[in-house]
Amino acid sequence: MLFDTHVHLNADQFEEDLEETIERAQEAGVQYMTVVGFDRKTIPKAMEIAERYENIYAAVGWHPVDAIDMTDEDLQWIEELSQHPKVVAIGEMGLDYHWDKSPKDVQKEVFRKQIRLAKKVKMPIIIHNREATHDIVEVLKEENAAEVGGIMHCYSGPVEIAQECIDMNFMISLGGPVTFKNAKLPKEVAKAVDLKHLLVETDCPFLAPHPNRGKRNEPAYVKLVAEQIAELKGISYEKVSETTTSNALEFFGIQSQ
């Protein structure tokens, strides 16, 4: 059994074959998923998918790349949606310094507003970090995000920062990069971080794990991530899949079925 904690089945790339993609996931043992909406287009689709499928949950937030577009109405909308029974987290949110569509100060402000919202509605947060590790940790500390905790999604930083995040009640979620031959840091994190703090994800349609690197990613491939973690830790695949699934169920507050 597996829980893919970060999917974008709401992306255009799955428009044609959503049903088949979900069937392939089930055949690979992926019983649960969280579909992440991050703007005016992907949030309604995430809600629609979560309402249609029993074991698919939703997270709603605003992506840092588009921070400059977020209005007070959008934030209000996210707050309303947080009350929906299938919504299990606020996000993805964070900082992305790779793209410069939104200035850093705007990204930080939108990030802070969403952390405050999550604290208000008492929900965990999902963090997107690209080339902004230092500032992310700083904002999380200043806003006391430890109060709600969250997920460092597709974590690719060093072990020491992972530990710092764990100390703030965050889970470390590993994705496709842990399977890449040249990805030193994610492999070190997979080895060093206790399994009780780890989650697995695909971030599909992006970042497909080896040997599917470069192709469209999909939830069935999360198995490759769990297998890689098992190999790196020198433990069984069953142990990794069972523990990361129960970690995710507990984190999102979902009763297993």
Residues in contact with Zn ion by the rule CB under 5 A: 92, 128
Minimum CB separation from Zn ion for residue 238, in Å? 27
> Whose Cβ is closer to Zn ion: residue 89's or residue 117's?
89
Both tokens of 128, joined, read 């997107």
Backbone angles phi, psi at 19, to 5 degrees: -55, -50
Nearer to Zn ion, 93 or 230 (CB): 93
> Quick one: 92 or 230, whose CB is closer to Zn ion?
92
One-character DSSP codes across 30-86:
EEEEEEEE-STTHHHHHHHHHHHSTTEEEEE---GGGGGG--HHHHHHHHHHTTSTT
Q: Min. distance of Cβ 235 from Zn ion in angstroms?
A: 28
Residue 150: which of 187, 83, 199, 81 has the closest Cα? 199
* Shortest Å distance, C-beta 142 to Zn ion: 22
Residue nearest Zn ion, CB atom distance: 128
Give me the helices (H) in the chain, please: 18-27, 42-52, 72-81, 104-121, 133-142, 159-167, 184-192, 222-233, 237-252
> What minimum distance in Å lies between the beta carbon of 108 and Zn ion?
17
37 versus 149: smaller Cβ distance to Zn ion: 37
